């Protein structure tokens, strides 16, 4: 299954450049410099790296992980040209061994690839691997819309706003937005499937001694 996702994205990234958001950083990534001045970021499902490169240029110490070697090779090449320090790692987030804690985790349109139980486990692990005062930024397709209707029997993670918020009820919610967004997937008529999307930014509360 994971092999199929890796192959699909390898083929997609090999066939063209700037597949997502015309190669521009996603809105989700732009929240990180709004809430943190510096620090380490784990970009989960980094794709071709438009978010990781943007954050590295802003001075963050970024690790980009993805199943797609082709995507990561593009990130490495761009980082070299721009002389940016950025780590890449071919890994499945479900089995990723965190070596360190991060100031920020970015999950930009990756969680719908995981089944619900695993996505929740991944988020809970990432919460533990976040430094006090650190943040999670999540952009993910919700349980309303064409993409969800097509995938709902798959058991993949298409949360409601309430479900996602509940996962962060012990953190401070800094931003929450819900909007419709066209996905890359198309219906039989060739129209892009529109789906509700949740954007959530949450901060790990620093415990006072
Ligand atoms: C829709 S793209 C999003 C790319 C980028 N984050 C963005 O916002 O434009 C999803 C990416 O997640 C990666 N991915 C899917 N499942 C993954 C997993 N289990 N572990 C790591 N990466 C994964 C895919 O290879 C793909 O590059």
What pLDDT band is residue 52 in, cutting at 50, 70 and 90?
very high
pTM: 0.97
pLDDT averaged over the chain? 96
pLDDT of residue 2: 81
Kindly report, residue by residue over 97-114, the tens digit of the pLDDT: 888 999 999 999 999 999
**Which of 10, 31, 113 is the pocket-test mutation for ligand 1 (most atoms within 8 Å of CB)?**
113
Q: What is the mean pLDDT of residues 59-79?
A: 98
Q: Tell me: the pLDDT tens digits for 172-187?
A: 999 999 999 999 899 9
Q: Which atom of ligand 1 is nearest to the CA of 68?
A: 25
- pLDDT for 7-18, tens place per residue? 999 999 999 999
Q: What domains appear along the chain, each with residue ranges and CATH number?
A: 2-203 (3.40.50.150)
Q: In the predicted model, is pLDDT for residue 1 greater than 70? A: no
Sign of dihedral through CA atoms 171, 120, 7, 88?
Answer: positive
């Amino acid at each position: 299954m994971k092999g199929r996702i890796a192959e699909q994205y390898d083929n997609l990234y090999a066939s063209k450049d700037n597949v997502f958001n015309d190669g521009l950083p996603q809105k989700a990534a732009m929240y990180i410099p709004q809430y943190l001045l510096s620090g380490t970021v784990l970009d989960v499902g980094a794709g071709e790296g438009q978010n990781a490169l943007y954050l590295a240029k802003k001075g963050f110490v970024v690790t980009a992980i993805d199943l797609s070697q082709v995507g990561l090779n593009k990130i490495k090449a761009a980082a070299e040209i721009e002389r940016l320090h950025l780590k890449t790692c071919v890994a499945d987030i479900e089995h990723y061994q965190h070596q360190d804690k991060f100031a920020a985790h970015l999950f930009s349109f990756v969680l719908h690839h995981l089944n619900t139980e695993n996505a929740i486990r991944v988020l809970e692990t990432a919460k533990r691997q976040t430094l006090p005062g650190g943040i999670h930024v999540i952009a993910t397709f919700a349980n309303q819309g064409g993409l969800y209707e097509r995938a709902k029997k798959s058991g993949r993670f298409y949360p409601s706003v309430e479900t996602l918020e509940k996962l962060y009820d012990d953190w401070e919610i800094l931003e929450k937005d819900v909007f419709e967004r066209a996905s890359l997937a198309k219906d039989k008529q060739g129209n892009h499937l529109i789906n509700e999307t949740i954007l959530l930014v949450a901060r790990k509360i620093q415990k006072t001694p």
